[in-house]
Structures are given as structure tokens and as C-alpha cells.
Amino acid sequence: MANENDYHGHPNYLMVLVWLLVLMALTIVVDLVFPSDMRGLAVLLIFALSTGKAFLVMQNFMHLKYEPKLLDLFPYLSIACMLAFFFGVLPDTTAIENILTQ
Amino acid sequence: MSDVTIERVPKARLGMWLLIAGELIIFGGFIACYVLARFENVGGENMFGHNVIGNFGSEHAAGFTTMWIGALNTVILLLSSFTVVKAHEASLNNDTAGITKYLSMTIVGAVLFLTIKLGLEWRHDFHEGWTIVSSQHTAGAEALSEPMVASLFWSYYFLMTGFHGLHVVIGAVVIFIVMMGARKGKNLHRVEIAGLYWHMVDLIWIFLFPMFYLAQ
């Protein structure tokens, strides 16, 4: 070990990059090939692929999979905050829509 | 599973993760607002069965961004994430030449990204009459029946891509400073910390790309 702070392992970064590019290519393919009446499914797939890319970056390039589990709280708690905000405000949005459509 | 305890994590790395968490909350808030605005303004019958007005995110507003340019920028950021992690690997072997090489490549990636974003995309958008406050349109205006709602897309687009671009600039400057130190063999541990910041910039773009270029 060259450095005492380098307690984590090092994945094959090139392979991770290849996977990221494959997911990127798939994202574009989904966008291009899905017909307009299946747009909702295409959007879901596109965001699932993006989440996969983000997960690969965090786990491998940012070495999160080698860090203590407590460190997972930093990114995942942030995402939980976003979801809490989103679902907290969503009823207000729908309430406005109800008023508009009455 | 890692058996390393939190006490073992270097303070600089812990600090950077705290910063990243803060940044993710800021961008997460933006993203949540954007998605809520899309739900509100998608037009027609929404997911709750209500009839709503607007054309936000239809074939109109989001259709004006060019997917291939966004895709190119995504690939550039993914490649620069790879070069910055290779610089980190070089720093562990005290390979200052390797650090300089890979960090230079990362900076080139940042410059390319900004050139495409500002010099190509934004320039074209401004030329078409789209700005962060655009409610009156020039070219392409005929396609928009709800100018106020359409401008909402561009407000989010310029705000979020602009804020992200600012992070790209900050990241490039930080990486340049770290690289200058590393060339003299100083503070090699900073390569990893700067790299973590750069990965966060990449991470955010991974979600901005489908939001503004694909999910129409």
C-alpha cells in the first residue's frame, strides 16, 4: 500500500468506463427507438439507465463501495431529502390542478 | 463489504463528501422543482386524471435542445471522470508525470464541455430568442401556444445548466491548482479530493442530460 489512506481497493477503471459508455449508448437507443405512444416507458427506462450510470460512478470512481457504510449516508440522505421534498410538495401541486380544472 | 470504520476516513475526504451532500441537496431541489413543474404543465390529462393546461416538456420546448450535443458533452464528462480517477491512481504511486498528464486531460475535457455548452448551445439558444427570462419569442415562437409556460422550460434549463457550468469552471480551476502543486510533488493527496468534486460534477450532468435533452 503506497499510502495509509489508500485502504480501499481499485476496480478496473477502464472496464467501468466501458460500462458507462454502453449505458450511455443504450440511453440514446431507447430515446430513438421507442414510439411516441410508449414515451412514458421510454422516460422511465432512460432515468433507470441514468441511475445505473450514477451508481457506477459513485461506487467505483468515488470508491463508495470501499468506504464505511456510514459514508453512504452522505449521498443517499441527500437523495432522500430530495424525494421527501418532492412528495411533500406533490399534494399541493395536485390541489392547484384541482382548482384549475374545476 | 468494507470493514473500515468511519474514524479511518481522512478528514479531507470526509469534508469533501459533506460538500458533495450539500451540492446534491441543492441540485436535488432544482430537479424536484423541475419535475413538479413538468407534472403541472404537461398538458392534457396528467397522471392523476386531471385535465391541465400548458405545453411544458411537450414536443415544443424541450424539442429545441439538440440531443447529440448533450450526448457529446455527457461522453466528454464521463471520459474526464476516467482521467481524474487515473490521476488519483498515479498519485498513489507518486507518479507526478502521470498526475500531470491525466489532470491536463481532465482540464481539456472541462474546456471542451464549456466550449460546446456556452459557445455552441447557449449561443444558438440566445440567437433563437431563448433566454432565462424569455416570455416573448422571436424565431420558433409560432410553435408555442403558451409562451409563459414555454419560458419556464428555458428558465430551468439556463438556471440548472448555468449553475452546473459554474461548477465545471470551479472544478477545472481547482484541478489546475492541484496539478501545479502535484508537479512539484506537493500535496498529492489533494488529487483524490479534487477528483471527488469532479465526479460530483459528472454525477449531476448524468441527470441533467436526460431531463433537458431526452425526456420530452
C-alpha to C-alpha distance for B147 and B58, rounded to whole angstroms = 13
Mutate to test the interface with B, among A4, A26, A38, A50 (most CBs of B within 10 A): A50
The DSSP secondary structure of B132-178, one letter per residue, reads TT--S-STTGGG-S-HHHHHHHHHHHHHHHHHHHHHHHHHHHHHHHH
Q: pLDDT tens digits, residue range B2-39?
A: 667 777 788 899 999 999 999 999 999 999 888 888 77
Q: 41-100 in A: which are within 8 Å (CB) of B?
A: 43, 46-47, 50, 53-54, 57-58, 61-62, 65-71, 74-75, 77-79, 81-83, 85-86, 89-90, 93-94, 96-98, 100
Q: What percent of chain B lies above the pLDDT cut of 70?
A: 78
Distance from the Cα of A44 to chain B's closest Cα (Å) equals: 9
**Which residues of chain A carry a pLDDT beneath 70?**
1-7, 93-102
What pLDDT, on a 0 to 100 scale, did the predictor assign at position A1? 41
Mutate to test the interface with B, among A1, A23, A72, A82 (most CBs of B within 10 A): A82
* Backbone phi and psi for residue B67, each to the nearest 5 degrees, phi listed first: -60, -40
Report for A65-69, B53-57, B109-113: range of highest mean pLDDT = B109-113
Res B214 pLDDT > 90: no
Q: pLDDT tens digits, residue range B154-207?
A: 888 899 999 999 999 999 999 999 999 999 988 899 999 999 999 999 999 999
User: Is A26's Cβ below 8 Å from some Cβ in B?
Assistant: no
Per the model's pLDDT, the better-predicted residue between B26 and B52 turns out to be: B26
Q: Give chain B's mean pLDDT.
A: 83
Which of B12-26, B44-58, B70-84, B86-100 has the weakest average pLDDT? B44-58
- Provide the grid cell at B147: 409562451
Of the pLDDT bands very low, low, confident and very high (cuts 50, 70, 90), residue B137 is very low
Burial pattern B92-107, b for ≥16 Cβ within 10 A else e, equals beebbebbbebbebbb
**Shortest CB distance from A82 goes to which of B29, B214, B215?**
B29
Per the model's pLDDT, the better-predicted residue between B45 and A6 turns out to be: A6
Res B141 pLDDT > 70: no
C-alpha to C-alpha distance for B4 and A65, rounded to whole angstroms = 11
> What ipTM describes this predicted complex?
0.84
Res B119 pLDDT > 50: yes
C-alpha to C-alpha distance for B184 and B179, rounded to whole angstroms = 9
